[in-house]
Each structure stands twice: as structure tokens, then as C-alpha cells.
Amino acid sequence: MIAILILKYMKFSSQFTWSLSNLVAMLRYNLFAYRDLWEWINKPFEVQAMVPQGEQLALEFT
């Protein structure tokens, strides 16, 4: 129920005309993409994936 409420809020807040089933499907496809969620919801076909800032540090094993 909470997930449906969040999805409905995202659909309502979006400037793009989403159907709920399309929004759920596209969120599932882009689940692990690193991009701004609100920018993507408003312009789903124009927003490119972002490059994470910084590098992962190496672990030193002794």
C-alpha cells in the first residue's frame, strides 16, 4: 500500500504524462541507473545517466 501511494505521488508530481503501469515498468528497468529521479520522471527519454563522483578507495590487507 505504501509503495502504491509513493508511485501515485510520483505520477502526480511528474510533468510527463505517465500511466501507472508504464511508470512501474520504467522504474524497474532503470532501478540501478545512477540518475536524478525527479529529472528523469519529468523527461524520461532525455536524461542521461550520471557518472558517480570520486573513486572507490582500495582496502589494504596486511
- Beta carbons of 38 and 54 less than 8 angstroms apart: no
Q: Would you place residue 61 in the very low, low, confident or very high pLDDT band (cuts 50, 70, 90)?
A: confident
Position 4 scores a pLDDT of 92
pLDDT value at position 25? 92
Taking only the tens place, the pLDDT of each residue in 39-55 is 888 888 887 777 777 77
Contact of 46 with 36, CB cutoff 8 Å: no
Residue 35's pLDDT is 81
Cβ atoms of 35 and 17 within 8 Å: the answer is no
pTM for this prediction: 0.64
Q: For residue 15, give the C-alpha cell.
A: 510533468
The CB density around residue 41, as the number of other CB atoms within 10 Å, is 19
